[in-house]
Structure 1
Amino acid sequence: MGQVYNISLAIFCAIGSFLFGYDSGIISSVITLPAFKSFVNNPKNYDSLSGAVVSTFTGGCFFGAATAGWTNDKFGRIRTVQLGVIIALWGCAMQSGANNFACMLIGRIVAGFAIGVLSMTVPLYNTEIAPPKYRGFIVGLTQQMIGIGFIVANWVGYGCQFLKGNVQWRLPLGLQLAPAALLLLGSFFMPQSPRWLLEHDRDDEARRVVHTLHGSSASAQEEADVEFAEMRETIKAEVLVRSRSITDLWATRGMLRRTFVAVGVQVFGQFSGINVINYFGPSMYRALGLSAGQSLLVQGIYGAVGPITNFFFITLILDTVGRKKPLMFGAGSFVVTYSVLTAIVASFPPDESTNLAAQRAGIAMIFLTSIFFSLSFGPVSWVLASEVFPTRTRSIGTSVATCANWAFNVLFSQVSNIAITNISWRYYLVFIVLNAIDFIIIGLFFPETKGLTLEQMAELFGDEVDAHDVLQCAAAHEKLNHDHLETEKA
């Protein structure tokens, strides 16, 4: 029963990730629609303006993720989710009702800020409610729901091309309001993270949440008591030495390594180039010689491939093989797929060649990139970035890692459409080099974290602070103060 509750809770919270996927994915279709091009009304600079529509969103995401580190510590995970959803409703309404291009950009920034908050908070919350043996699956639901959001966005975009007038782009943007409203209503029934409750001396509430998450059977309740005792001891010790400063992320060798791993896995996920395909897939397909309608259709089919692969991976593989091997597999695979894609586009230029076999091979490489991403960085980046930090820095650490993700997302979303148009296949060489470097770094420096509780990460990373020692010192210090006061009274 506890497992079912955990998974149900995680799936519902991951509606925030669905919103992330839909909001990110729908724009790849919207910027290709004739009605939206007429709305922008600047055909000479359309490539740079469409890039701005994407990059302003991802820029907002960066600042949202940065802000969420503070709000998660101050107000908790659930209140931060609610804040993100309320802002999302505002931004999505501005986009769908925009009466000029400036209003559209502001709506994208506001919605991006909200998605930045949710993209950091959802995996953080799911990490803290998940039992160790299912944590990969539960946190991997983040990528699963992002993928489902992309599927829905791609097919909505494909269908909306047959509509007339501005409803062609207003409707797909307005549909973002539905999952946001659903998550807002449901969030009032979700429990707070027990680890956050312990940090704020709400121990009884934390105990009740842990027992609820484990289920009602006698064995489950015993497991809950053991987990709660370990959780409480470690977190109380961390609170005593907590400074709430970003410098904590590199204050010790162990913390520096944690930060390097968390930021690295998020940035390397961007180096996969997956968001270039997600945002500008139709442009890439046209570069392979497909028509605008064919490009949207292929993008819709492409969107289904990743989530199906991701589901089987997080269900059957992730918690068995761990984190490091899939990451190395992914980086190595991307080197191969981008090398083949580069060779195809260079050898058979779309404006000079009508080789259908080359077109199909190029599309196959893009599809394989999505499959390999879903078997590696897609789910693993969210799991690893949120599980490596101790409770005292998990919020700010996850925030910094997510900000790094969005920073590179901004970079690629701004330059990719222009690069694909102007330098074609040469742009893919960047991803070949980056993923080759990633493969080496992951192999040399990334640890394996599967099966460990969040509190056991301290031993893996060689933390200098021991919970038992800190608590004993604190108890001795408290006793000394008490004895001193009694002496003064006497």
Structure 2
Amino acid sequence: MGRFFNIFAAAFVSIGSFLFGYDSGIISSVITFEHFLEHFNQPNSNTNLIGAVVSTFTGGCFFGAAASGYLNDRVGRKRTTQIGCVFALWGCSMQAGANSIATLLIGRIVAGLAIGCLSMTVPLYNTEIAPPKIRGFMVGLAQQMVGIGFIAANWVGYGCQFIDSDAQWRIALGLQLVPAFMLLVGIQFLPFSPRWLIEQGRDDEAHAVVLRLHSKSGSDTSAAEKEYAEMHDAIKAELHVRSRHISDLWSSPAMIRRTFVAVGVQVFGQFTGINVINYFGPEMYQTLGLSKGKVLLVQGIYGAVGPITNFFFITLLLDRIGRKKPLLYGAASFVVTFSVLAAIVASFPPTATTNLSAQRAGIAMIFLTSINFSLSFGPVSWVLASEVFPTRTRSIGTSAATCANWAFNVLFSQVSPVAMVRVTWKFYVLFICLNAVSFVCIFLFFPETKGKSLEDMAEVFGDQVDTQEVLAKHGDTRLVHEADSDHKSDKLTEKADYA
């Protein structure tokens, strides 16, 4: 089985990310449906409803991500995913069956709790089951499924607009129940995270999972045995010297750097402005002077560009070129694209000109932003945020990073509609400055983690914990390697072949 089962498990769990993309994308279509507006007695100018729907959902996501840190440590990655699915079924059912705005908004909050939980847990699970050589690809599958969810939402929204009844919006919202139920049932047949099992003292189960996921073949288990020995020793040592408090995230210079990298990469991902485009793309196209008909066409095409780019990047490049270079490229490219976009909107105001060349150049910059995001922060932010922490703080650390993502998501989703109307092109200057700051911080403080096992991160960040010494001190020597010097040499010079 080995690699095939490993990739299958990561891809299946990433259905949770598909829910993230679909839920985020479908509401932008539903909110414009004629029968939806009539049912809730909303005028055509429904700015207040849009703001409420967006803010309640993203607010729920923030609290869902915060709670999932505790849940992942307490009940594990699998059970936390299932809890997220139960909340998704609950919230989506309320939305699809809503007969009042209050019911709809409560459904959005509950669904937000689910998506916040899944957006943090899916990358975490994929990180902990992945071998180092393809970890970027496997965690990048989460971002890939977010994009596919957006594509599905665009087409479902397009098709449902032709239904002449309340089924128009109820079907669009209700279809979320299908992937939520699939994941709830299907993940039961996938393994627990081996690293979480070791934390719980279930070493034999963890050993069996590692052999199942990482063995080259039925007879060749040497690479998997080495992987298990290293993770066992490192995790057991952490159990003796670490507590489980949020203060652990800044308890030492190494942990401060880990936390800065994880939280920073998530915040910098919001600095790219990608969610401003995702949520308010039509408004941005209108500022370029496009008609409503052309706006819908361009938005539909835009939705497919990112996932296609992301797929080729995580498949062919991410685990070869690493994490830091793509992030530097992305931050620099966004400085350029937003500079050009600001110049176009400032020089050719849509109310004063219909310059087709300017319109095309502006659309090209928006599309290029999506492409560059898929070549950088899109997949890398989830990979890096979940791989830099030691096992004992990985749940709470990833939770903190994801909460930071959602906090800035809420901020930009609330500010952007007003800013695009009141300050027009000057709003894009903000993203020029923010991405310039991101570039400097990444260049100075972010390490390269490509090809490192999760246990090797101690060397990358300079943790002062001697695994062998701690285990020997506490009498836990079951899997301590016989020759410490050889073990250290192996970790520095050899990488297991997980073919």
TM-score (norm 2): 0.93
Structure number with the higher helix fraction is 1
Corresponding letter in the other structure for 1:3: R
Q: The residue matched to 1:463 in structure 2 has which SS? A: coil
Cα distance change of structure 1 residues 369 and 220 upon mapping to structure 2, 3 Å threshold: farther
**Cα distance, 1:40 vs. partner?**
4.6
- Matched-pair contact (CA < 8 Å) for 1:29–1:282: no
**Cα distance, 1:346 vs. partner?**
1.5
Q: Indicate yes or no: 2:204 matched with 1:193.
A: no
Q: Distance in 2 between matches of 1:27 and 1:220?
A: 49
**Cα distance, 1:216 vs. partner?**
5.9
Q: After alignment, is 359-368 or 78-87 more displaced?
A: 359-368
Q: After alignment, is 410-419 or 182-191 more displaced?
A: 410-419
- Matched-pair contact (CA < 8 Å) for 1:272–1:331: yes
Runs of 5+ consecutive residues of structure 2 not aligned to the other structure: 478-499
Q: Distance in 1 between matches of 2:306 and 2:22?
A: 14
Q: The residue matched to 1:76 in structure 2 has which SS? A: helix
- Matched-pair contact (CA < 8 Å) for 1:129–1:193: yes
Aligned residue in 2 for 1:117: 117
**Deviations 1:272-296 (Å, cap 9, x if unpaired)?**
1111111111222222223333322
Cα distance change of structure 1 residues 95 and 127 upon mapping to structure 2, 3 Å threshold: same
**Cα distance, 1:382 vs. partner?**
0.3
Q: Indicate yes or no: 2:350 matched with 1:350.
A: yes
**Cα distance, 1:470 vs. partner?**
1.0
Corresponding letter in the other structure for 2:433: V
**Cα distance, 1:17 vs. partner?**
0.5
The percent identity for this pair of structures is 70
Say what the alpha-carbon RMSD is for the aligned residues. 1.6
Q: The residue matched to 1:448 in structure 2 has which SS? A: coil
Corresponding letter in the other structure for 1:343: A
Runs of 5+ consecutive residues of structure 1 not aligned to the other structure: 478-490
Q: The residue matched to 1:265 in structure 2 has which SS? A: helix
Q: Distance in 1 between matches of 2:131 and 2:248?
A: 26
**Deviations 1:177-224 (Å, cap 9, x if unpaired)?**
111111111011011000000000000000000000023626741111
Aligned residue in 2 for 1:146: 146
TM-score (norm 1): 0.94
- Matched-pair contact (CA < 8 Å) for 2:151–2:303: yes
Q: Distance in 2 between matches of 1:134 and 1:2?
A: 13
Cα distance change of structure 1 residues 415 and 169 upon mapping to structure 2, 3 Å threshold: farther
Aligned residue in 2 for 1:367: 367
Aligned residue in 1 for 2:11: 11
Q: Distance in 1 between matches of 2:433 and 2:33?
A: 34
Q: Indicate yes or no: 2:315 matched with 1:305.
A: no
Aligned residue in 2 for 1:173: 173
Aligned residue in 2 for 1:484: none
Q: After alignment, is 439-448 or 276-285 more displaced?
A: 276-285
Corresponding letter in the other structure for 1:254: A
Aligned residue in 1 for 2:408: 408
Q: Distance in 2 between matches of 1:357 and 1:153?
A: 30
- Matched-pair contact (CA < 8 Å) for 1:96–1:173: yes
**Cα distance, 1:263 vs. partner?**
0.1
**Deviations 1:47-87 (Å, cap 9, x if unpaired)?**
23312211211110000000000010000000000000010
- Matched-pair contact (CA < 8 Å) for 2:57–2:109: yes
- Matched-pair contact (CA < 8 Å) for 2:37–2:44: no
- Matched-pair contact (CA < 8 Å) for 1:19–1:149: yes
Q: After alignment, is 315-324 or 207-216 more displaced?
A: 207-216
**Cα distance, 1:9 vs. partner?**
0.7
**Deviations 1:105-127 (Å, cap 9, x if unpaired)?**
11111000000000000000000
Q: Distance in 2 between matches of 1:369 and 1:175?
A: 30
Aligned residue in 1 for 2:227: 227
Aligned residue-pair number: 477
Q: Distance in 2 between matches of 1:384 and 1:425?
A: 32
Aligned residue in 2 for 1:381: 381
- Matched-pair contact (CA < 8 Å) for 1:127–1:387: yes
**Cα distance, 1:473 vs. partner?**
1.4
Corresponding letter in the other structure for 2:214: H
**Cα distance, 1:474 vs. partner?**
1.0
Corresponding letter in the other structure for 1:97: G
Q: Distance in 1 between matches of 2:32 and 2:283?
A: 8
Q: The residue matched to 2:189 in structure 1 has which SS? A: coil
Aligned residue in 2 for 1:217: 217
- Matched-pair contact (CA < 8 Å) for 1:158–1:300: no
Corresponding letter in the other structure for 1:119: S
